[in-house]
Amino acid sequence: MESKITKALGMEFHPVAIIWSNEKPINALQFKEDKLGCVMWMFANTAKGKTSVFDRKTYGCLGGAVGLGFGNAYLNFPVGIECFYYFLSNGNKNWEQGRKITEQIKPFATKEFIDDFYEGERYLQTPKQVKKFVEQMPIIDVSFEYVVLKPLKEIDINKDRPEIIVFPLNPHQLSALIILANYGRETFDNVIIPWAAGCQTIGIFAYKEARSNTPRAVIGLTDISARKNIRKQLGDNLFTFAVPFNMFMEMEKNVEESFLQRPTWKALL
């Protein structure tokens, strides 16, 4: 698909279409079964032109499984979801069972993981907050075998039906899409920034918006772990902008008459 938005923004990287499918694309990048990895690594490769695919055995990490829409994988966190609550907050050093488990898993995990497990990533203040975060997440289990990431330019909208279109954007381009998302609406809060992992802001949070009567776009890559993971691939200057497909088509129709044709925007290109 040739996108008017892509052309008007002068994008360096490809927008990425997220597709639910029961067919595995040929020659797609895919993690090995049960191999640790970051969904955003695959996103970065797709933004550079390669198709990626995930299933319920090849999602990279538990947070990635949640983000892609493969159910509440946090229940499978090593030695229990309670440890995840401490892992994301103030660390498993703060309860007796967590300290014991840290010693047990040391021979089987990386030093970086052990440090985060014991000291905590500290993205939320307390385990109780993490529990509430998980309870409030729009977790779903998609009714398809695969979640596919495909460059938008390779999409045939007569055959493929993307759930979400994700733009990897620099700050100028991000500003432009925030404006465009509100351009044809009668409400002006049509973009949100939830706190979540990088994969979750392009996945389940955008999936939720896609099922709303008035879908909104979701800004992501505010997750510093994801930013650290993809900086070698995409640099330090990008955010994601995930748009439900119907909203994307709405925005496409508005390009030609909008500010994207005016001197202020062209001066920023």
With a cut of 80, say whether residue 151 has pLDDT above it: yes
What are the phi and psi torsion angles at 122 (to 5°)?
A: 65, 35
CA gap 137, 140 in Å, rounded? 9
**Where residue 230 falls among pLDDT bands split at 50, 70, 90?**
very high
Please check whether residues 88 and 165 belong to one and the same domain: no
How far is Cα of residue 178 from the mean position of the Cα atoms in its chain? Answer: 18
What is the model's pLDDT at position 82? 95
With a cut of 80, say whether residue 132 has pLDDT above it: yes
Which amino acid is present at 12? E
Report the percent of the chain where pLDDT is more than 70: 100
What is the model's pLDDT at position 189? 97
Query: What is the tens place of the pLDDT at every residue in 53-105?
Result: 999 999 999 999 999 999 999 999 878 899 999 999 999 999 999 999 999 98
Please check whether residues 115 and 241 belong to one and the same domain: no
Mean pLDDT, range 45-52, rounded to an integer: 98
Please check whether residues 152 and 64 belong to one and the same domain: yes
Mean pLDDT, range 126-136, rounded to an integer: 98
Q: Is 179 exposed, middle or buried (0-12, 13-18, 19+ CB in 10 A)?
A: middle
Please check whether residues 107 and 163 belong to one and the same domain: no
What is the model's pLDDT at position 158? 82
Please check whether residues 145 and 117 belong to one and the same domain: no
Residues 6+ apart with CB under 8 A from 194: 201, 205, 218
Query: What is the tens place of the pLDDT at every residue in 195-226?
Result: 999 999 999 999 999 999 999 999 999 999 99
Please check whether residues 128 and 152 belong to one and the same domain: no
Mean pLDDT, the chain, integer: 96
Question: In the structure encoding, which two tokens stand for residue 200, read together?
Answer: 């979750």
Please check whether residues 106 and 216 belong to one and the same domain: no
Please check whether residues 204 and 234 belong to one and the same domain: yes
pTM, full prediction:
0.95
Of 136, 154, 181, the domain-final residue: 136
Report the percent of the chain where pLDDT is more than 90: 94
Please check whether residues 186 and 246 belong to one and the same domain: yes
Please check whether residues 151 and 210 belong to one and the same domain: yes
Please check whether residues 119 and 223 belong to one and the same domain: no
What is the model's pLDDT at position 216? 98
Of 136, 151, 176, the domain-final residue: 136
Domain encompassing residue 97: 73-136
Is the separation of the CB atoms in 3 and 155 below 8 Å? no
Please check whether residues 126 and 146 belong to one and the same domain: no
What is the model's pLDDT at position 233? 97
CA gap 191, 85 in Å, rounded? 29
Q: Which of 246, 179, 200, 190 is nearest to 43 (CA)?
A: 200
| Domain count across the chain | 2
69, 76, 164, 224, 263 from 180: Cα distances, Å: 27, 40, 17, 26, 16
Of 136, 153, 176, the domain-final residue: 136
